[in-house]
């Protein structure tokens, strides 16, 4: 009972805080609802397409929220701004959440949605028939995981990935930032412990079944496309994001890396427009300009 109340309350608060942060900063809230075939029924999604250009890739976006509390509503403002500033169509995917649907429901939905969208690129307005997979936090984990699992026949469609303060490894790896940045920002180390435990449910993180959740440990990193990777200083996930950058570079992946020394986890998607957000968006749009 306590778990259900906690999940309900955090989801409600996240929607409220996101709406408050972005209030008065958006021109409109126009989007089109989509239903995508999924492994357990339709996957709901929202498409932002009124400012699209035919020389831009189609962005598939997976929201953050620890695989538990985020949703389409919490990230609609960010996706709208991403669409407006980049000129890319953006499809935000509403994958299943824990605890109702623990791992691997979320990754299964994201992979199924990406496969289907890749096969129907021409149905989604103006784009160059290429895809960028993107996400923040837990959604960044899902974006990278989806890239790693895409079959070769569709992988050529993926022009790049955008991973914003990503989750890349289980908390048992004991990165120093879990201690150094345990508190003092919205995402605390204790929240990440709870998110991981809720997401994996009773699954042993050391088991073979759980391995696909830990993208940092993947042996297929060299298969990833050009990557735009962001970390924040005030974030328990800081060091695993930096470690991910290092491993991608070692694997020969083209990485554009930004670290925001004055920012906390959530600055990009949950705080509304700010100086760090605008700097990140400027560099992200320039990176998208260079993708082929």
Predicted confidence at residue 292, as pLDDT, reads: 67
Mean pLDDT of the chain, nearest integer? 95
Show the domain range for 284.
2-290
pLDDT, greater one: 68 or 121: 68
Predicted confidence at residue 126, as pLDDT, reads: 84
For the chain, percent of residues with pLDDT exceeding 90: 88
Q: What is the mean pLDDT of residues 5-18?
A: 96
Q: What is the mean pLDDT of residues 145-159?
A: 93
Q: How confident is the model at residue 27 (pLDDT cuts 50, 70, 90)?
A: low
Here the CATH number for the domain that contains residue 243 is 3.40.50.1820
The number of folded domains in the chain is: 1
Q: How far is CA 288 from the centre of its chain?
A: 17
For every residue of 71-100, DSSP letters joined together read -HHHHHHHHHHHHHHH---EEEEE---TTT
Predicted confidence at residue 52, as pLDDT, reads: 72
Give residue-wise pLDDT tens across range 46-104. 999 877 778 899 999 999 999 999 999 999 999 999 999 999 999 999 999 999 999 99
Point out which residues pair with 131 in neighbouring strands: 58, 158
DSSP H or E stretch at residue 258: strand 255-264
Contacts with 253 (C-beta within 8 Å, 6 or more apart), sequence order:
221, 222, 224, 225, 226, 227
pLDDT at 116 over 80: yes
For the chain, percent of residues with pLDDT exceeding 70: 98
pLDDT at 184 over 70: yes
Round to whole Å and give the CA distance between 197 and 219: 24
Give residue-wise pLDDT tens across range 190-237. 999 999 999 999 999 999 999 999 999 999 999 999 999 999 999 999
Give residue-wise pLDDT tens across range 252-262. 999 999 999 99
Q: What is the mean pLDDT of residues 170-180?
A: 98
Q: What do you get for the CA distance between the two ends of the chain, in Å? A: 50
Predicted confidence at residue 100, as pLDDT, reads: 97
Written as six digits, the tokens of 287 are 């990176």
pLDDT at 291 over 80: yes
Round to whole Å and give the CA distance between 216 and 193: 18
Q: What is the mean pLDDT of residues 25-35?
A: 82
Sign of CA pseudo-dihedral 100, 238, 143, 249 = negative
Q: How confident is the model at residue 28 (pLDDT cuts 50, 70, 90)?
A: low
Task: Cite the active site residues.
Answer: 137, 235, 265
């Amino acid at each position: 009972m306590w778990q259900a109340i906690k999940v309900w309350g955090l989801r409600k608060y996240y929607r409220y805080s996101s709406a408050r942060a972005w209030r008065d900063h958006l021109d409109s809230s126009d989007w089109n609802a989509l239903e995508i075939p999924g492994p357990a029924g339709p996957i709901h999604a929202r498409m932002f397409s009124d400012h699209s250009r035919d020389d831009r890739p189609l962005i598939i976006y997976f929201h953050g929220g620890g695989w538990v509390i985020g949703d389409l509503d919490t990230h609609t403002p960010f996706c709208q701004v991403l669409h407006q500033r980049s000129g890319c169509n953006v499809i935000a995917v509403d994958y299943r959440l824990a605890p109702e649907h623990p791992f691997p429901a979320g990754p299964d939905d994201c992979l199924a949605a990406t496969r289907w969208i890749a096969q129907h690129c021409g149905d989604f307005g103006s784009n160059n028939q290429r895809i960028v997979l993107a996400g923040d936090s837990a959604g960044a984990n899902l974006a990278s995981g989806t890239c790693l699992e895409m079959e070769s026949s569709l992988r050529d469609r993926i022009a790049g990935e955008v991973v914003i303060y990503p989750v890349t490894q289980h908390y048992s790896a004991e990165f120093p930032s879990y201690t150094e940045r345990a508190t003092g920002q919205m995402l605390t180390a204790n929240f990440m412990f709870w998110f991981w435990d809720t997401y994996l449910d009773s699954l042993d993180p050391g088991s073979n079944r759980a391995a696909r959740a830990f993208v940092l440990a993947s042996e297929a990193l060299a298969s990833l496309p050009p990557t735009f990777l962001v970390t924040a200083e005030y974030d328990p996930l800081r060091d695993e994001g930096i470690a991910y950058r290092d491993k991608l570079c070692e694997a020969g992946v083209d990485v554009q890396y930004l670290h925001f020394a004055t920012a906390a986890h959530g600055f990009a998607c949950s705080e509304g427009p700010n100086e760090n957000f605008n700097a990140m968006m400027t560099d992200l749009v320039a990176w998208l300009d260079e993708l082929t």
